[in-house]
Structure 1
């Protein structure tokens, strides 16, 4: 299924060798630039400037602060979006970084988790966001630069390469991606046929993840003085049988998917109100993290909790509670504010889908061993595949186990491999017929 001949593969490898040093330096700059969610402007500026330097045909920033770069082919064809998020989580206590500056972008040879029979030491870039997702972001941006150089050498290119860097992925409401896809692209007369995300995959092809719904249960009581608790209804005590049934009955009954694993539910925050030592609380708030599988929705997850609430209320006239999907108000660095719900869709794509088969064949053509995987965490692919049902996969040099940790790093040799792989995926996928871009079903 590979359309990449020896001449094109040789050109990919030659240009990769040429671009590799500058790509690593650019990745260091990204790591050295703080970009916690809502503060991504400096990083966006770097991305735009680098794409211009690499010869992209068009680059722009949208109203929400996302950045877009286009490399246009010499022939008509599909548009493949290569997507990275520009924000990162807090580095936490710098003392946990074992001598590395979280924003240092330092390069050294260090111990790494091995893959197959590879050496247990490799050159790495260190710092917050190196594995989530700044090194993958650098690789994707340089993939566009590689395609520009291929075009300059006279190789035909089909379709359009689109790099998108989105804001505010880490809060897990997808506001940057939603604005980009639903508003920016239509306004620009643009669309996309498939997406490759740079979220960490260790050079494997990742084909899905569970969804995520954040739920808030409020259990109601009645205040009284702490010295006379019998005069009130303690909301914390009323919450105990609900918590027990969620843990002992609901969680074990959740479904399992052969690829994505078990749906899950975790009670992560308990709060009460008024929250004073001498007052019996009249509210107990439970925040739950519910991971969903294809076929499940926020509505079905809410209904499961509501069923338990209704049953408890039928048995105890003093029991009163409700459950909702949590909401959030997110403001981007441009000042644009979104009110959104904390609901991310599950998704998966078959290894037999035309887009995945084209990607696998492409990696094989440049000498890479093809392996597959699925994320434990969520990504903005919940929009592209979970909602839009566009063919989507993950391919990245970064390793999932380092994300959000004080050991955050990325192997530079994996970055070089990923640059070749990204270019090969684009070239081979755009050479395929419509079957490579069919709507994803599960």
Structure 2
């Protein structure tokens, strides 16, 4: 790898972003680095919204489409820095790879988006149609798409590019996800006299067994609408000599295209209602989990954990426009889907904005020990984003 490559603007910006630890709610350092880059590199203006989403804008010389590049600034935590091969916030380069938390998920892509937009603006001397937005998004790891609602409201994009890892392939869909709570209310009693109580754990266990028998929904492209038990907790805990009076189970539900809050809950609610009708001691409640987190701006972000799925036909004009633009610069993208949830849940799933994913690196490097991004992938995706700018903002 040449010294010129290592010293390139996109590599330096990616390293600067990785060196700012930015767990969800702690993204201010990354926001500051991005803001400085936008101001120093010809962006028309910079907007930081109430949640801390940091949006750089370049206005073209004439009317045209608004294209939004979306990359989240937050990362999952590092549990033990000592077990990493290289320090997780040093962004060291070894064997052609930048190592560190957030390199693949997804500060590398965010850096490439910012540099690509700046280079496209410089090379065209601002003579292009429409608007280019680059958004550093907060709290994506907690709420896929919740903070993005503010971004789409502000930018009103015609096209959205999600920069999650895709190994330079085009992603035109994903399953969404929902978090469902099943609560059961029993009656406390001394465990020496359990017949005087109602054991909420036994009761919820009966429901859990019946839920496992439910037929999953299915989409030929995206697969099954999985419903998987992910945790269970009783109260009081520890339950020394006490029959538990409360128990809550959490389910992860992978969402398919067109599924709604009501349609997802309906078969589970029907099952629970039927079981309660047969058992007068069973008192159960279903709901979607609601998350609430503090932003670095001081604002509280809150949202129901229901993030829709989405899917486009690969023959749609905007998909083919992107595909052909990448082919023209010598890349060979495959058109496929993400197997995890992204901010596309809002843009495509909720707001129905034309959206596709295009990012560097391997999907399975996200959230892993010794996370890295290949410098070659970083350089190539910068070219990809510039090609996308040219295709939609001629």
Q: TM-score of the superposition, structure 1-length normalised?
A: 0.85
Give 1:342's aligned residue.
Answer: 305
1: CA distance, partners of 2:6 / 2:131? 21
Check the 8 A contact 2:76/2:367 in 1, yes or no.
yes
Cα distance in 1 between the residues matched to 2:367 and 2:325: 31
Match of 2:196 in 1: 231
Q: Where does structure 1 lack aligned partners over 5 or more consecutive residues? A: 1-16, 110-122, 432-442
For residue 268 of structure 1, the aligned residue among 225, 230, 245 is 230
User: By how many angstroms is 1:404 displaced?
Assistant: 0.4
Please say if residues 211 and 347 of structure 1, whose CA atoms lie closer than 8 Å, have aligned partners that are also in contact. yes
CA distance in 2, matches of 1:211, 1:298: 12
Matched, 1:204 2:169: yes
Contact 2:144 2:346 (C-alpha < 8 Å) held by counterparts: no
SS of corresponding position for 1:367: coil
The 5 A counterparts of 1:38-437 are: 38-97=25-84, 99-109=85-95, 123-152=96-125, 156-172=127-143, 174-182=145-153, 185=154, 190-247=155-212, 249-250=213-214, 253-275=215-237, 276-431=239-394
Deviations 1:364-387 (A, max 9, x none): 100000212211211111111101
Is the partner of 2:242 in helix, strand or coil?
Answer: coil
Distance 1:205 1:144, change over 3 A: same
For each residue in 1:330-371, what CA deviation from the matched residue of structure 2 results, as whole angstroms up to 9, or x when unmatched?
A: 221111113321110111121111111000000010000021
Quickly say closer, same or farther: Cα 1:399–1:173, change in 2 above 3 A: closer
Q: Give the SS at the match of 2:189.
A: coil
Q: TM-score, structure 2 length as denominator?
A: 0.95
> In structure 2, what is the equivalent of residue 439 of structure 1?
none
1:414 CA drift (Å): 0.8
Q: Where in structure 2 are the equivalents of 1:16-27 lying within 5 Å?
A: 21-27=8-14
Note the C-alpha offset of 1:69.
0.9
Deviations 1:373-423 (A, max 9, x none): 211211111111101111000111121110001131111101111111111
Q: Secondary structure at the match of 1:284?
A: strand
C-alpha distance in 1 between matches for 2:161 and 2:302: 27
- Paired with 2:12 and 2:74, the residues of 1 have a C-alpha distance of 19
CA contact under 8 A between 1:71 and 1:147: conserved in structure 2?
Answer: no
The number of residues matched between the two structures is: 390
Deviations 1:129-186 (A, max 9, x none): 111100000000001111122123xx8412111111111111025332122223xx1x
